[in-house]
């Protein structure tokens, strides 16, 4: 009998296992693939972390805590987890991105600058802002290295006594008043007082009875070599950026870290799928489309296409997360629906999940993430 079973040891589950184990609890972590694998949502070398959160100011207290926790974790890790580059949120003054970032920055007193197009071009010479564009620039924004973050959480969990099993797919689980029973595909059964489900794109199957309206979306990350002036694309000269030019999908990207090329991607794709049916083949048309958008922002950025990788978003209808208790099982906590912007929160989500399981409540505001909100929407008025 374990104190807690964590189902899925990707970004969120590795953090949950670490935080629960840090409380001295007996934790069993179950993962179908290998540590820090590339089959889910937490791979691809880099993730943006930022504070002036355009999505909603309610995320900011969680982000400030996430920064503290990533820093703590990094001090115990053998490899770097975070690189500060600064971050540019670029678009017309009235764009969702600029307005939302400013709102979060102002409501929470975050240090930021509002740059004109001329300021952007002068300070970051690889970029080509359009007339009338502005940018919210925040210095603490930067890059998290997702595989290293997952490894660091797994290492912390193990150091604090967690048992982590890889290559161990879970078939099903059921809960009663006093405990939860998890059945592995191998047929083995494991029991615990609490279950924390962090199954990413597989959550629709593993929490099917919650009827969460999750949609799995295919997203492709691309790496390009600059055509010239490579010195302008390093992390000392080019911040991470998000670009809102009124198109269907925002473009975001990273400087060239460790001469691996500059990485860029569209935020969302409308290509809905399942983990089983995910198309991992990347077409020339997709590469051309991304390059065409990229060179309008980084004119020398669209050289040789070096690599690409496919990843999955698990989207909710409002693109806010799902973190909370199962509506019928008080001993089951679910975390999912991170909608393509969850990685930066893994550290704080792990802490929240441990609190929800063992304290019964969370120390941070998480009302945006209630699993019940979708049910309410469906009720007649």
Ligand X SMILES: Cc1cc2nc3c(=O)[nH]c(=O)nc-3n(C[C@H](O)[C@H](O)[C@H](O)COP(=O)(O)OP(=O)(O)OC[C@H]3O[C@@H](n4cnc5c(N)ncnc54)[C@H](O)[C@@H]3O)c2cc1C
Residue 15 or 105: the one with the smaller Cβ distance to ligand X is: 15
Which residues ranging from 251 to 270 are in contact with ligand X (CB under 6 A)? 265
Least distance CB 19 / ligand X (angstroms): 14
φ and ψ at residue 140, rounded to 5 degrees:
-75, -10
The whole-angstrom separation of Cα 254 and Cα 312 is 19
3-class DSSP assignment, residue 263 = strand
CB of 224 to ligand X, least distance (A): 16
Compare residues 126 and 240 and give the one whose CB is closer to ligand X: 240
Query: Does 48 interact with ligand X (rule: CB under 6 A)?
Result: yes
Please report whether residue 249 would count as binding ligand X according to CB under 6 A: no
Q: Which of 13, 142, 226, 350 binds ligand X (CB under 6 A)?
A: 13
53 within 8 A of 104, measured Cβ to Cβ: yes
- Residue with smallest beta-carbon separation from ligand X: 10
Min. distance of Cβ 79 from ligand X in angstroms? 18
Give yes or no for residue 342 binding ligand X (CB under 6 A): yes
Q: How far is CA 287 from CA 220, 266, 292, 293, 296, in A?
A: 9, 11, 9, 10, 15
Alpha-carbon separation of residue 41 from 49, 74, 231, 337 (angstroms): 16, 21, 31, 11
For residue 183, the cross-strand partners are 172, 189
| Residues between 118 and 157 that touch ligand X (CB under 6 A) | none
Which of 170, 257, 347, 353 binds ligand X (CB under 6 A)? It is: 170
Q: How far is CA 239 from CA 103, 152, 242, 377, in A?
A: 21, 25, 10, 39
Segment 62-121, which members bind ligand X (CB under 6 A)? none
Q: Per rule CB under 6 A, is residue 29 in the interface with ligand X?
A: no
Count of residues near ligand X by CB under 6 A: 37
- DSSP code of 327? S
CA–CA dist 152, 130 (Å, integer): 41
Q: What does the binding site for ligand X look like in residue numbers (CB under 6 A)?
A: 7-13, 30-33, 40-42, 44, 47-48, 169-170, 198-200, 202, 206, 219, 221, 265, 311-313, 336, 338, 340-344
């Amino acid at each position: 009998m374990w104190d807690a079973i964590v189902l899925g040891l990707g970004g969120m589950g590795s953090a949950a296992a670490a935080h629960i184990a840090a409380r001295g609890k007996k934790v069993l972590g179950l993962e179908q693939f290998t540590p820090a694998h590339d089959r889910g949502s937490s791979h691809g070398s880099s993730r943006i972390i930022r504070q002036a959160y355009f999505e909603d100011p309610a995320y900011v207290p969680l982000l400030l805590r996430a920064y503290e926790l990533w820093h703590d974790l990094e001090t115990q890790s053998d490899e770097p987890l975070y690189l500060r580059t600064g971050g540019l949120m670029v678009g017309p003054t009235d764009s969702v991105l600029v307005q939302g970032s400013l709102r979060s920055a102002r409501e929470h007193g975050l240090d930021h600058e509002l740059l004109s197009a001329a300021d952007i071009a002068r300070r970051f010479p690889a970029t080509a802002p359009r007339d009338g564009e502005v940018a919210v620039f925040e210095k603490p924004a930067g890059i998290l290295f997702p595989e290293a973050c997952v490894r660091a959480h797994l290492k912390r969990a193990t150091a604090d006594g967690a048992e982590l099993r890889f290559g161990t797919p879970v078939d099903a689980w059921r809960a009663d008043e006093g405990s939860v029973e998890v059945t592995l595909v191998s047929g083995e059964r494991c029991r615990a007082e609490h279950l924390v489900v962090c199954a990413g794109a597989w959550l629709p199957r593993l929490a099917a009875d919650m009827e969460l309206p999750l949609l799995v979306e295919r997203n492709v990350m691309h790496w390009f070599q600059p055509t010239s002036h490579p010195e302008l694309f390093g992390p000392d000269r080019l911040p991470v950026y998000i670009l809102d030019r009124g198109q269907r999908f925002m473009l975001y990207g990273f400087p060239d870290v460790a001469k691996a090329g500059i990485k860029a991607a569209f935020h969302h794709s409308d290509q809905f799928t399942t983990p089983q049916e995910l198309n991992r083949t990347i077409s020339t048309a997709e590469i051309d489309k991304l390059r065409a958008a990229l060179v309008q922002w980084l004119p020398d950025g669209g050289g040789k296409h070096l690599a690409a990788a496919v990843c999955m978003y698990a989207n909710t209808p409002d693109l806010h997360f799902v973190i909370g208790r199962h509506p019928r099982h008080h001993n089951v906590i679910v975390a999912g629906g991170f909608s393509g912007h969850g990685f930066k929160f893994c550290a704080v989500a792990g802490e929240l999940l441990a609190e929800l399981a063992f304290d019964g409540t969370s120390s941070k505001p998480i009302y945006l993430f209630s699993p019940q909100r979708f049910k309410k929407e469906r009720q007649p008025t």
